[in-house]
Structure 1
Amino acid sequence: MDTVREIRQFNRFYTRLVGLLDEHLPDSDFTLLEGRATYELATGGKQTAADLARTLDVDKAQLSRALQTLKRRKLLKAEVDPGHAKKRLLSLTPAGRVAFTELEHGTRLRMESVLQPLGGAKRKKLVSSLRDIQAAFAANVAKPSTVVLRAPVPGDLGWVIHRQAVLYTQEYAWDWTYEALIAKILGEFAAAFDPAKEDGWIAERAGQILGSIFLMKGDASGVAKLRLLYVEPAARGSGLGRRLVDTCIARARELGYHRLTLWTNDVLTAARRIYETSGFRLAQETRHRSFGKDLLGQTWELDLLNAASGPRAAAAETR
């Protein structure tokens, strides 16, 4: 068997299938490199151009041209690194985040159309084969798969509702009315989503969802809500909960909010550690009967103008 010939034949087939030779990505103005750079900034947060070049493994001059295009389109901004005055950190603007969401949606629709003729059994076989290919080439690489924080895409909100309902039934014996609550929260969030005032993150590793967190508008001007933080049991203790909360707090500051609030219940003891070490202060407690249990609800607040954030706790769940 001529392995080289087989791989080259597959490459020609695949690039045609998904349109990688097209000038722009499906239904967008992004070239492939511009789209990849936007994806890394959306999921990996602020980073230097050098870091981005290493992640993408591309020529710095080629990447520089792509970044300049994104800046001209006002999708990208650069700011001085607080920890190193000579470094410039790149991040997406609000318009860039909107463009990324649209790009991600278009890409998923394109892949769904490619996969449409395949039934469930063939899809499972395809995914298994793809993982085998990645494993074969990564066999000698010691670096573990990284966890990325990405924007929600179609199907994510339903998954988050499902997993949180299941986990809270298993861990706290809450009934199905809790599922109704989170379905209502996320349904309203999606229906009236405002990218200039709201955001959301899905934590993912190697295609597996490990957690989520959402930043939503509050009930008063300048006030935002941290909502629906959860981390899968297998990822707890890894610092993912801290990373999700840090990301949400930083984004709230970036969007100009002066106060961040959240509502939880006292049975979520790990959550209190994360909030306290992040600068949140307990503002109110109220007893209530919800989800088939007698609970003590708690409202926590963080002054974004004066308080420094820096959670040191393990992963936790917030409602």
Structure 2
Amino acid sequence: MPEQPTSTDDYKAGEIAKDMVVTNINNRQYTFMGVELGLCNGNSLEYKERKVKVRFKQTGTGQQSDEFEITQTRYYTEMLGNCTYYQFGRKDPMLPLFYDDEAYNLDKDQYGPLQYKFTFVDESVTGTGKVAINLGIQHPYHFHYVRSAYDDWCSTPYHNLWNATQTTAGATDKVVKTIYDPSPVGYCVPPANAFTGVTHNGNGVSEAPAYSYGKINSPYKQYYNEFTNNAGWIFYCSKMNGLLNWDNSGGTIFYGCHGYRYAGSGHGGHGGLNGNYWSANPNNAKTSYYLHFTQTQVAPKYTQECRAYGYSVRPVRETP
């Protein structure tokens, strides 16, 4: 909550995630919410720490004996949870995906009247899928997919849906919250520049681990294994001071691989494989900036896909 103190602790699975102060590449600080909007934690398994005493005793006389203690450390594992998705500029959440060991792309169960059932629709009169903003507001349970699979869901490409002062496309340092922002009171969708501290220079990294090590602002040493085991990236909150020069004083923050809902159909995909987090800033009439990552790629200001995709949102605290 905005009024609560922030943390400088390292991320630990299974513990309550607190708001973290993150420094971007230009030394500007943002207080990120501890979790994604709509997050539901996955199932967990825990074995608490145990101590066992072992005693050796000489057979026969029993005169000689020795005793020592073995400590079995705590073991905890947690499956990837799920969170709601948002099409760029829309306030209403889209249904999450459910993940388990067998299938990654299952829609969560829905409850309530059938007329409000989460649905993939093309309500446009042009056949493109693009609709007026009022239809998006009137049908919050509709995912408005686009026929071209690379476009805005909205027929008018507004720049200021999530940033009231944005009149032209481009990344910014600050956001002024709008009525379309899905974040709770005191928070807003982050500006694109808030994510730039995840690499050593604020630019994207997309190389094999042998070449990218030291460029990503993470405590990971074995990218493939740690990324897979955690189903996401753990990043340092303090910015790097150059290649192979990390600062762990600010603690760490976790971003999960929640995948997305595809712009061309509304169906989900890539849960456990990649993560995508919207910023409030448009890049052009069809695309907007977002944090994107996989096992081998971390891109703080990605613009590859369009506004009609359903991505996760990780809000920051509003600033004066």
Q: Given the two structures, how large is their TM-score scaled by the length of structure 2?
A: 0.24
* Higher alpha-carbon Rg: 2
Q: Given the two structures, how large is their TM-score scaled by the length of structure 1?
A: 0.24
Higher helix share: 1
